[in-house]
Chains A and B, each alone.
Chain A
C-alpha cells in the first residue's frame, strides 16, 4: 500500500477506539457538517468533583484522517481534567498518530474542535461560562485560526492568508490573500463561512479573494 498515512493512522482507521455515543452525556458537540465534507460528534461524561473526563466517545462521518483523529483524541482526553483536555492540540493528536498529511489537516482538526466544543457545552450547561460576547475582529480571527490552509496544513491566520477582516452591524467581511482561481479557493470560502456564520450576532458573512 502506498498511502500517505502512517501505520498508526491506518490502524486507528481500521479499528477506531471509543466509537459510539453516550446516551446520558454531560457534554456533547458536533463539529463540521456534510457540506464541509466531514463531521464529528463528541460525547463526554465528567466527574463532577474532580472535573475529569470519565468517559468519552465519538462518531465520525469522515475520511480516514478524521476517523483516526477522533480515535486518538478521545484516547488522549480520557481521564484528563477539563482544563487539560481543552489544551490538547491538533499537533499533539497528529504527533500521536505519527503525522498526518498536510492537506488532511482540515479534516482532522474537526475532532480536536469537537472535543473542545463538547467541553464548552458541558461548561455552558453547568453554568461555568460568562455571558455572550459580541463578535469582534479578534473573535473572527480566532475562528479563522481553525480554518486550514490546505497548501501548508497550517491555519489561514498563521500563513498570512487573511488579508483583512471587517465587522460592522452584524456583517463580517473576510478578504483572503489568494487569487479567486486558486484550486482551494472554493473549499476555503466554504469553510470560513462555516466558522463565521454560526456566531450568534452575525447576520451575514462574505468572503472575498484578491484579484
Chain B
C-alpha cells in the first residue's frame, strides 16, 4: 500500500490547482458583488468587468468572440442547452443526429427530445469508436436540425474528425454541436477553422473549479432562452453569474501547456504499452494514437471490473470501470458495447485518466499492482481456462 492515494480518474474530476484558487479568492473576499450594469456602484461594475474579461479569454481560447460564449454550471448544462435550446429555438426541423457513444448529457437530452416528438438518429461507431462519415451523410435529411458528435470520447478517448463532420453539416446547412469536455486545451479546437456551431467546455476536467462550464454559440444560431430569471448571459441564462468560477476557469485554461499535454501522453503510452506487454489477455479499447493524451482504457479479460477497482483501491489507486456492477443502473458501458464489445469486454474494462499531479512512477506502480491483482482474480475465475484445465 502506498502512502498517498493515487488518483487516476481525471476524466471524472480533477484536483484544483492552487494557482486557480488564488486567482478566484479576490472574488470571494475582496469583490464579491454581483455584476451590475455600468450605471451602478463600483464593485458591481468591476465584478462585471472581471466576468467579461473571463468571457473574452475563454472565447478567444476557442477562436471565438465574447458574445459567442456563455457561462454555465458545467458540461452537462452546456450540452442540455445545445440540444434542447436549439430544438426549441430553431423551428427548422424535427430531426437530430447523435452518435451512440455520446456522454449522457447529449444522449439523454436527445432521448428527452425524442419523447417530445423529435426524431433522433443514433449513429453507430466502428470498433475503435469512430463515426462513419458516409453514414452521417446518409442520415441527414430535410428535417435534420442538429448534429451532435463529441470531440473525444469520455471513456475510450477516441477523437472524432470534427473538421470533416463540420464540413458535411455546413454543406447541408445543419447546425453542428460538439462536446469538447475531454479535449478543451488538450487538443486544438478553433471555431474559425472548424465549422462547428456549438461547443461544450468545462473547467472540472482541467484542474479548474467544479460548477463552471461554458457553451460556445456561433453568432446567428437560434436558441431558446434556457433559464428564466434576469437578463444574464445575453438573456439566455438568467441567474447570478459565478464570477469566481469564471475567473478560475480562465486561470485553469492558461495553466495547461503543450509540455503538460506531452507528459500526459507519455503516461498514457507507457501504461498502454506496459499492460499489453506484461499482462496477457488484455485488449486496448479505442484507437492506439487517435485518442486524447490523458486517456487509456483496457479490458482485462475473464475478470470483472468492480473487483479490479476494489483491489486497486485497497492498494491506494482510484480508477474507473465500464462494468455494470460499478454503475448505478447496473448497465454495462454503452461505449464499450457501442464499439462492438460484448458484456464481458465491458465488465473487464478499466479506464485510467491522467492529470497534472500524476507521475510516470505512479503509472509504473499501478501496472505493478495490476500484475499481481489480475492473475489473482483470474485464478478464481471460471472463465479463460482451457478446456483441459477445467
A residues contacting B by CB (< 8 A) are 1, 3, 13-14, 16, 19-21, 30, 34-41, 59-64, 66-67, 103-104, 106-107, 150, 183-184, 186-187
Contact partner, B383, options A13, A35, A39, A184, Cβ 8 Å: A39
Q: Are A103 and B330 in contact (CB under 8 A)?
A: yes
Across the A-B interface, the 7 shortest Cβ-Cβ residue pairs = A34-B344, A63-B306, A59-B382, A63-B325, A187-B330, A41-B382, A183-B329
Contact partner, B347, options A19, A21, A34, Cβ 8 Å: A34
Q: Please name 12 pairs of A and B residues whose Cβ atoms are closer than 8 Å in the assembled complex, sorted by A.
A: A3-B310, A21-B390, A34-B342, A37-B304, A37-B330, A39-B383, A60-B380, A61-B302, A61-B303, A67-B380, A106-B330, A183-B328
Q: Mark B45-72, 1 if CB is under 8 A from A, else 0.
A: 0000000000000000000000000000
CB distance from A180 to the nearest CB of B (A): 11
Q: What CA separation (Å) do A23 and B330 show in the bound complex?
A: 34
Contacts A103-B330, A183-B329 given; indicate if A63 touches B380 (C-beta within 8 A): no
CB distance from B264 to the nearest CB of A (A): 28
Q: Which of B303, B325, B381 has the most CB of A within 10 A?
A: B325
CB distance from B329 to the nearest CB of A (A): 4
Q: Are B381 and A60 in contact (CB under 8 A)?
A: yes
B residues contacting A by CB (< 8 A) are 302-307, 310, 313-314, 323-326, 328-332, 342-344, 347, 379-383, 390
Contact partner, A186, options B306, B325, B331, B379, Cβ 8 Å: B331
Which residues on B sit within 8 Å (CB–CB) of A64? Answer: 306-307, 310
CB distance from B153 to the nearest CB of A (A): 21
Contacts A19-B380, A60-B380, A187-B324 given; indicate if A37 touches B343 (C-beta within 8 A): yes
CB distance from B334 to the nearest CB of A (A): 10
Which residues on A sit within 8 Å (CB–CB) of B380? Answer: 16, 19-20, 59-60, 67
Contact partner, A63, options B302, B307, B383, Cβ 8 Å: B307
Contact partner, A34, options B328, B379, B383, Cβ 8 Å: B383
Other contacts beyond A30-B382, A37-B304, A59-B381: 16, CB < 8 A: A13-B307, A13-B310, A19-B379, A35-B342, A37-B347, A59-B380, A61-B381, A61-B382, A62-B304, A63-B305, A63-B306, A63-B307, A64-B310, A67-B380, A183-B331, A184-B329
Contacts A37-B347, A61-B382 given; indicate if A184 touches B330 (C-beta within 8 A): yes
Q: What CA separation (Å) do A60 and B302 show in the bound complex?
A: 10
Q: Which single residue of chain A is at the shortest CB-CB distance from B332? A: A37
Q: What CA separation (Å) do A134 and B94 show in the bound complex?
A: 50
Contacts A60-B382, A63-B323, A187-B324 given; indicate if A14 touches B304 (C-beta within 8 A): no
Q: What CA separation (Å) do A183 and B331 show in the bound complex?
A: 9
CB distance from B305 to the nearest CB of A (A): 8
Which residues on B sit within 8 Å (CB–CB) of A184? Answer: 329-330
Q: What CA separation (Å) do A35 and B331 show in the bound complex?
A: 10
Q: Are A63 and B314 in contact (CB under 8 A)?
A: no
CB distance from A29 to the nearest CB of B (A): 11
Which residues on A sit within 8 Å (CB–CB) of B325? Answer: 37-38, 62-63, 104, 107
Q: Which of B302, B306, B342, B343 has the most CB of A within 10 A?
A: B306
Q: What CA separation (Å) do A104 and B327 show in the bound complex?
A: 11
Q: Which of B323, B324, B382 has the most CB of A within 10 A?
A: B382
CB distance from B331 to the nearest CB of A (A): 6
Q: Which single residue of chain A is at the shortest CB-CB distance from B390? A: A21
Q: Are B381 and A37 in contact (CB under 8 A)?
A: no
Which residues on B sit within 8 Å (CB–CB) of A67? Answer: 307, 380
